């Protein structure tokens, strides 16, 4: 299977299946000398692990990580960093009734058609547990980005139709939805409760803001910052939409409204607004990077759904087992991680964009 590696210089390869023995990631290209411990990674994994509230699956996984290589005396060595997370609470029997039936909204049918075989236990490689490797890669990337003062604020912008109007970064970790607005949490909970009573699921929107980016990350043609962010975020299984800045709303504006004016602040060029979301011509413009991702409802629901089996017969399916009624809260850190991987990779590529930078690096 191709396509399990993301990045050109800072490269993250994820591996493992939902009901296999373990999952993890191999990170190649991380600079040497970066402070890194298992706890640095664990703090990010804890944000995505299951069983933390009734808004998540009841599957109980500690998701404790083990660093197998690439770190010595608490610092990266410049060699590949391999990190493993053991699976411990698989209920494979929960999936025996779908061994020959395609679940609506899942990759069962397309995976079977492409490879001629599929691991039906929890979706195998197409499971949301694959994102453990992404979070590992993102956690390591953020350790590097901290050295440059780059910070991330990622949260649920909306839960179903309930939209956060205010952003209080401190509050994001204080509620089960990762909402930044305390005024809407009760409404979000009521809406989710009603859906769960109907044995249904809901989606939402994740917003991510990145501060401290230098100007010029990204390339002006195919490897634009926003294009690569789109690829990174859209590669997450549950994501069905992506936009930067005003996004689709910009289609309703005039140029005079959408353009961000420039002004001088001492010796620095600043923008009077940020409709572009921190990118211009595919490159970071020094402003706050702002993007959003639309998360679809969890496809595994306990309602009867129309489908077919692998013999071509029409049938109905009722999915049993432990599933998130909403994916959004646990996907927040995954979106943040993919952004960090993308940004660090572009920063490392950008180091060779001007000959003066190379001269300074190799100057004796």
For 277-334, write each residue's pLDDT tens digit. 999 999 999 999 999 999 999 998 888 999 999 999 999 998 877 678 999 999 999 9
- How many CA atoms does the CB half-sphere of 144 hold within 13 Å? 23
- More confident position, 62 or 163: 163
Tell me the mean pLDDT in the region 50-69.
74
- The predicted pLDDT at position 203 comes to 97
Q: Which residue has the tokens 């959004």?
A: 328
Between helix 328-350 and helix 38-48 the angle, nearest 10°, is 140
Q: In angstroms, how far is the first alpha carbon of the chain from the final one? A: 45
Whether the Cβ atoms of residue 41 and residue 84 lie closer than 8 Å to each other: no
* Dihedrals phi, psi of 202, to nearest 5 degrees: -140, 165
The DSSP bridge pattern shows strands 151-159 and 81-86 to be unpaired
Closest CA to 51 of 43, 63, 65: 63
Name, in order, each residue with C-beta under 8 angstroms of 145's C-beta and a sequence gap of 6 or more.
340, 343, 344, 347
Residue 48 in 3-state DSSP? helix
Residue 247 in 3-state DSSP? helix
What are the tens digits of pLDDT across the range 172-199?
Answer: 999 999 999 999 999 999 999 999 999 9
Q: Which two tokens stand for residue 343?
A: 């940004």
Q: What pTM does this model have?
A: 0.93
How would DSSP label each residue in 105-152?
TSSHHHHHHHHS----STTGGGSGGGHHHHHHHHHHHHHHHGGGT-EE
What are the tens digits of pLDDT across the range 19-39?
Answer: 889 999 999 999 999 999 999
* Alpha-helical runs (H) found in the chain: 38-48, 108-115, 131-145, 185-197, 225-234, 255-258, 328-350, 355-362
Q: Which residue has the tokens 């990337």?
A: 141
Whole-number Å distance between alpha carbons of 122 and 163: 31
Tell me the mean pLDDT in the region 67-84.
98
The DSSP bridge pattern shows strands 5-6 and 81-86 to be unpaired
Between helix 38-48 and helix 131-145 the angle, nearest 10°, is 130
What are the tens digits of pLDDT across the range 119-154?
Answer: 887 788 888 999 999 999 999 999 999 999 999 999
Residue 292 in 3-state DSSP? strand
* Dihedrals phi, psi of 329, to nearest 5 degrees: -60, -40
What number of H helices and E strands is found in the chain? 8, 18
- The share of the chain scoring above pLDDT 70, in percent, equals 94
Confidence of residue 220 (pLDDT cuts 50, 70, 90): very high
Cα radius of gyration (the chain): 21
Confidence of residue 242 (pLDDT cuts 50, 70, 90): very high
Mean pLDDT of the chain: 92
Angle at 225 between CA 171 and CA 338, to 5 degrees: 45
- The domains of the chain, with CATH numbers, are 5-362 (3.60.150.10)
Whole-number Å distance between alpha carbons of 318 and 304: 5
């Amino acid at each position: 299977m191709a396509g399990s590696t993301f990045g050109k210089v800072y490269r993250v390869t994820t591996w493992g299946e939902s009901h296999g023995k373990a999952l993890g990631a191999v990170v190649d290209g991380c600079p040497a000398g970066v402070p890194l411990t298992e706890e640095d990674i664990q703090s990010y994994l804890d944000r995505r692990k299951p069983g933390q509230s009734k808004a998540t699956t009841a599957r109980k996984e500690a998701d404790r990580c083990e660093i197998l290589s690439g770190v010595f005396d608490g610092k990266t060595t410049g060699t590949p960093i391999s990190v493993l997370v053991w699976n411990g609470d698989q209920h494979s029997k929960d999936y025996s009734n779908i061994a020959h039936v395609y679940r609506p909204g899942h990759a069962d049918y397309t995976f079977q058609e492409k490879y001629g075989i599929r691991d039906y236990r929890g979706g195998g490689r197409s499971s949301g547990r694959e994102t453990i490797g992404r979070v590992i890669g993102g956690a390591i990337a953020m350790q590097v980005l901290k050295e440059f003062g780059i910070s991330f604020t990622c949260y649920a912008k909306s839960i179903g139709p309930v939209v956060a109007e205010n952003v209080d970064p401190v509050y994001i970790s204080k509620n089960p939805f990762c909402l930044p607005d305390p005024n809407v949490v009760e409404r979000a909970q009521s809406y989710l409760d009603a859906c769960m009573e109907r044995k249904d699921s809901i989606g939402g929107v994740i917003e991510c803001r990145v501060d401290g980016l230098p100007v010029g990350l990204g390339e002006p043609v195919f490897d634009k910052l926003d294009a690569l962010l789109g690829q990174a975020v859209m590669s997450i299984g549950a994501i069905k939409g992506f936009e930067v800045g005003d996004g689709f709303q910009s289609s309703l504006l005039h140029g005079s409204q959408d353009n961000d004016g420039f002004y001088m602040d001492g010796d620095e060029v600043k923008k009077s607004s940020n409709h572009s979301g921190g990118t211009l011509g595919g490159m970071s413009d020094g402003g706050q990077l702002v993007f959003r991702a639309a998360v679809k409802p969890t496809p595994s629901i306990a309602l009867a759904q129309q489908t077919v089996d692998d013999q071509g017969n029409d049938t109905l399916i009722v999915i049993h087992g432990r599933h998130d009624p909403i994916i959004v809260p646990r996907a927040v850190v995954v979106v943040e991680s993919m952004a960090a991987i993308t940004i660090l990779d572009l920063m490392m590529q950008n180091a060779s964009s001007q000959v003066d930078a190379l001269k300074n690096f190799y100057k004796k």
